[in-house]
Structure 1
Amino acid sequence: MRFLFLVTLKRRDLARVLVIMRHPRKLPDVLSVEEAARLLEAAPGIKYKAALGVAYGAGLRVSEVAHLKVDDIDSTRMLIRVEQGKGRKDRNAMLSPQLLELLRLWWREGRRRGVMLPHGWLFPGRSCTDPISSRQLHRAVQEAAEVAGIRKRVSPHTLRHSFATHLLEQDVDIRVIQVLLGHSKLETTALYTKVSTRAIHAVAGPLDRLMALMEDKSPPG
């Protein structure tokens, strides 16, 4: 808008009255490990279970999950190749043995159905030549959450948030999590320290310290 008024329209008087509105940043909803397990178990079919498994097990964005190809799964190096993620950046995501096994189950089923093309999409849409849509993945997550009895507001991005938070609670270095998520700034990743229950529980409250001090000073009975 500033460029429009200053450069294109030559209206500095209008540019001066522009005000930057900052939206308050809310903490993301995060699933517990048990809720994540229930959600994946309730996924509508092996394809969606594998796709949601990638979102949670590797921390990928929904668009990154949708645009994975079969060749992006590197079982030798145990990596998932993410091409042209957010910011048009390539990166490697983690591939756990459990996630690899889940993807192999889907690959075998996809081959049996005739929807898995050589060098094609890992998660084909309604047509084998098109990737699954983000809308389909959103719908699958909401359906699974309803079946699993999860009342939180859940989306595919919730699985990415849960991935980062659960790694943080396992004492994984925050800079490693930053790389896995593909964040360019550490402060973006640091948001998860605010939702990590383990990080919160690890802090000794001032009241606890005060009560302990008072007990130490109490006269012997």
Structure 2
Amino acid sequence: MTVLRARGYSIRTEQAYVDWVGRFLGFHHWRPADSLSGSEVTAFLAHLAVNRNVSASTQNQALNALVFLYRHVLEQETGSWEGFSRARKPKRIPVVLSRQEVAQLLGRLKGVNRLMASLLYGTGMRLMECVRLRIMDVDFSYRQIRIFHGKGGKDRMVPLPERLIADLEAHLQGVRELYEGDIADGNGEVFLPDALAVKYPNAAREWKWRYLFPSARLSVDPRSGRVRRHHVHESALQKSVKRAADELGLRKRVTCHTLRHSFATHLLEDGYDIRTVQELLGHADVSTTMIYTHVLGRGGKAVRSPVDRI
């Protein structure tokens, strides 16, 4: 764990990697990791792929965890097994809601969940990018939101929707009251990445570093043991969106990520170029963004079915 933290990995990645290393060692009857070679690694990976039939993303996460273990902890060469059966995720056309369906879905949500879902659709940000927003990331003057350390460790700017400004300002008043209460009770700290915490030792108690969507409860930081107010858990919004979609009777698989897909597709429908959409979504490769062009065709690439001519 020390090596993971020194390299700035998130606590979720840390927990996942530690879990996979434990499964790997357990699979080989808890033999020391430095006594296991590439053949044992490939046997475990083959077990996951063939016997457990885990998804492509799960296979790749297990492989990444073992590569990290051998390369950075044990400082051994990973050799040819590093590329063993690196699973390819199947390319699926994203589920997209119509504008009317988005309006109906947002109309079913209330309070903070509605505000967060509106930001997902209005900016195209990912769920965890929204959950982890800080007060200072919202720039009302320039009408933009900074996504700090998004997927791939990249920063980017997204537009701040005009119609959400009043709701955000009202929301911030409540967050401010919560912050002042925490300060008065001696619980005013918020989590900061290690490098920032060292460089700015007082920043953890400053207003601008607070989470935009703080949790209703204080919690104990699993790394430091300090009592802090973390951000809301993403599952609350996930459950609310699913429940709203079920209540509406939508016959699509609707998740929080569906709002991001809808954002991208609707921008392309409005005539924005693919490079602009790529930048807003934070895609490293434009080919990832191109998947949304497939959604725009009517009936399979705009082909008119012959049955419609009968």
Could you say whether these structures have the same fold, taking a TM-score greater than 0.5 normalized by the shorter chain as the test? yes
Cα shift readout 1:186-208 (whole Å, capped 9, x = no counterpart): 001111001125xx48x775889
Match of 1:164 among 264, 269, 277: 264
Count of equivalent residues = 201
Q: Which has the higher contact order (CA 8 A, sep 6+)?
A: 1
**Gaps (5+ residues) in structure 2?**
1-40, 43-66, 181-206, 219-228
Cα shift readout 1:122-144 (whole Å, capped 9, x = no counterpart): 11123262101122221121122
Cα shift readout 1:41-86 (whole Å, capped 9, x = no counterpart): 111x221111011100000100100011122111110100111111
In structure 1, the partner of 2:169 is 104
User: Percent same amino acid at aligned positions?
Assistant: 35
Structure 1 contact 116–124 (Cα < 8 Å) conserved: no
Distance 1:136 1:10, change over 3 A: closer
**One-letter code of the match for 1:84?**
H
Distance 1:99 1:24, change over 3 A: same
Task: State the shift of 1:105 in Å.
Answer: 3.6
| In 1, Cα distance between equivalents of 2:245 and 2:259 | 12
CA RMSD of aligned residues (A): 3.2
TM-score, normalising length from structure 1?
0.78
3-state SS of 1:165 partner: helix
In structure 2, the partner of 1:36 is 102
| Residue 241 of structure 2 corresponds to residue 132 of structure 1 | no
Q: Which has the higher helix share?
A: 2
Task: State the shift of 1:24 in Å.
Answer: 2.1
Distance 1:205 1:116, change over 3 A: same
3-state SS of 1:31 partner: coil
**One-letter code of the match for 1:100?**
I
Task: State the shift of 1:111 in Å.
Answer: 4.7
In structure 2, the partner of 1:121 is 211
Match of 1:150 among 250, 257, 260: 250
Match of 2:120 among 45, 55, 60: 55
| In 2, Cα distance between equivalents of 1:195 and 1:148 | 22
Structure 2 contact 175–212 (Cα < 8 Å) conserved: no
Distance 1:92 1:18, change over 3 A: closer
